[in-house]
A and B are shown apart, each in its own frame.
Chain A
Amino acid sequence: SPNYLLIFLVLQELEIDYSKYEHPPVLTVEAQAKYVSSSEGALSKNLFLKDKKHRYYIISAMVDTKVDMKVLSQRLGLGKGGIRMAPEEALGELLQVSLGCVTPFAVVNESARDVSLLLDKNFKNQARCIFHPLSNDVSISLNTAGLDKFLKSIGRDSVYVDLEANANPAVGKDQPPDLALYVPAASVVVPELSNKASSIQTPPTKNATSEIIKPVASAKPSKPAGNVNSVSANSVSLEFKNPEKFVEEILNRTSALLLSEAKGESVEALPGTLRKRLTSELTLLAIMYKNTAYTEGFHAGKNYKPYRL
């Protein structure tokens, strides 16, 4: 999904601490566990559910948390069998993701504005939790504070729920459905798809993905696919010291913005020749900026008067 980069853009803008791991595409938590070790954080299982009135829910939980669909349905006030897995078309249409990719981050999409997001309260006990950032060949780890900050920035309040409470509710006058308030106000119509021509509905093609991933990957020295890569915040300081890295960052973010604005239409990031010319001109500007800042510091250092003791 073109919005894949948008997630990183927002995380960086908000200065949320996170780590990024690239790996082959994974469709299950078991597969993901092969590439991202438990020392990096708690893996999550993510369910995309739908009720009979076409209202949609993302349930994001710890792998060990038992999610009983019947209980959940009752707690939502939907009766015993009121909730089931959402069809695959809805994944693409509403969440802009492919199979194996359901994630809390999906609510960043405008198309997901009516999707209810429920988070396992057990996440709060974890140092970090692991989710996909709209792409199943990347994983992110971050803590709940970071996730909350992210969600807040897009106008969402985080909802943490004890998914294992009320194992056997007798929903009635004395025990009202406690999650009922999280049922979306609006239902969503996902149009029946006769063909999958539109790029919005289909999972991203291999080419498109590699085009999109390129700007971000080139910013880091690590290789995509095959290895577990952890990109820590140490690379940030080099952006502010090295004019070339600084310019690379600027152009990557510009690319990301251009892509996110395009919203799924086939728009290339900055064309190669344009980027090359911009790089050379911007680098000279960046060096002059750095030299000017240094000169001011130099002047300050020369004229600095130490405090008298």
Chain B
Amino acid sequence: MVVDKKEEIDSESSEQVVNPWEVSVKDDGRIDYDKIIDKFGCQRLDESLIDRVQRLTSRQPHVFLRRGVFFAHRDFNEILDAYERGDKFYLYTGRGPSSESLHLGHLIPFMFTKYLQEAFKVPLVIQITDDEKCIWKNLEPKDSKRLGRENVKDIIACGFDVTKTFIFSDFDNVGGAFYKNMVKVGKCAMAIYGFSGEDSIAKISFPPVQAAPSFPSSFPDLFPGKEKLRCLIPCAIDQDPYFRMTRDVAPRLGYNKPALIESSFFPALRGKNGKMSASDPNSAIYVTDTAEDIKKKINGAVSGGQDNKDDQNKYGANLEEYGEGRMLTGEVKKRLTQVLTEMVEKHRRARAAVTDEMVEAFMAARPLPSMFE
């Protein structure tokens, strides 16, 4: 998204950079999400929407909604309108395999997506962009595929229901109806982006790959005859540019615009700048971390009133019982360590139950007759 990069590097008003390849804050300030919403042009997820979710799903909204981790959206209200009328939707989310291990920041969108799947009783497609990581990170396709499959095990361990979930790798899936949609999108998108001469053709041709799963006709085996089925995409806000393009193109192809529900980033452990990153191991809690590792990382983490409140918000529901400022820093860290260790343990156990066969089952193109049950 070269154009966006150019937009972002706007010296007078922008202190921060937020796009799919780079998230940082200049001057060591915090990420200003209101500014992002403003700049990107998406909507805030307000109380009334959250109440509506509660009414429609007859259960308490997920803590990430209540605590503003998922805080922005595009057309989520339309998804809810349609749902109320009895028109369901499907979920689409994805992962670019970038390292062997997932950290908790990676799990956030998946935990939230699982909640959406259970609460609304809708199917889910998960795209593993093994091609993207080859293009941008110089990985060999076979390594990217391998990493992808390992990541799939962690994703499955989040608790997705195999009868309602289709996970696919780009390398194995691009073709047929999917490719047809990619070409249609690609034809419309050229005018939007001006690419510099330094970017490989692969980079230019990639965006339609991420756009295509937004359209049900890309999956004729899953959604036969359901051309008008709506799509909701839970993602981190740095993915917004990709989908802005998709939403722009959709009506021109006679398709519904995909809706988005967007999260902020998991705060970096090492202070205020940006998000947990796989490239900086001490900024993240990995699902392979031991209790000792977690304790060390939390204790080494920068502490300050404001940080802790955000941490409390983002790290889990269990911390709700602690009031604002009532807990001492030491206690917060101890509790955080406990909660995170539990989370990682729970994940590890679930992960241990995921076999290669199970991965194959999730990734097989197969009918999903119970997908809306």
Contact = CB atoms under 8 A, between A and B. Distances in A.
A241 B360 contact: no
A298 B161 contact: no
Contacts of B370: 241
B357 A295 contact: yes
Interface string B359-373: 011101010001001
B161 A291 contact: yes
B239 to A, nearest CB: 26
Contact of A290 (B161, B346, B362, B366): B161
Contacts of A296: 357
A107 B33 CA distance: 67
A294 B361 contact: yes
B358 A243 contact: no
A148 to B, nearest CB: 36
Contacts of B364: 298
Given A241-B373, A244-B118, A292-B358, A284 B161 contact: no
Interface residues of B, number: 20
A295 B373 contact: no
Contact of B162 (A244, A294, A299): A294
A291 B155 CA distance: 13
Contacts of A299: 357, 361
B350 interface: yes
Interface in A140-174: none
Contacts of B350: 284, 288
B305 interface: no
A287 B357 CA distance: 16
Nearest to B355: A295
B159 interface: yes
A298 B159 contact: no
Interface residues of A, number: 17
Contacts of B353: 288, 292
B303 interface: no
Q: Which of B346, B358, B362, B366 has the most CB of A within 10 A?
A: B358
Given A294-B163, A295-B355, A242 B373 contact: yes
B361 A243 contact: no
B233 interface: no
Interface string A233-245: 0000000011110
Contact of B159 (A288, A292, A294, A295): A288
Interface string A264-292: 00000000000000000101100110111
Interface in B322-373: 346, 350, 353, 355, 357-358, 360-362, 364, 366, 370, 373
B361 A287 contact: no
Contacts of A291: 156, 160-162, 358, 361-362
A32 B357 CA distance: 56
Contacts of B362: 291
B116 to A, nearest CB: 14
30 contacts: A241-B163, A241-B370, A241-B373, A243-B161, A244-B118, A281-B346, A283-B159, A284-B350, A287-B160, A290-B162, A290-B163, A291-B156, A291-B160, A291-B161, A291-B358, A291-B361, A291-B362, A292-B353, A292-B355, A292-B358, A294-B162, A294-B163, A294-B361, A295-B162, A295-B355, A298-B357, A298-B360, A298-B361, A298-B366, A299-B361
Given A283-B159, A291-B361, 20 more contacts: A241-B163, A241-B373, A242-B373, A288-B350, A290-B162, A290-B163, A291-B156, A291-B160, A291-B161, A291-B162, A291-B358, A291-B362, A292-B353, A292-B355, A294-B162, A294-B361, A295-B162, A295-B358, A296-B357, A298-B360
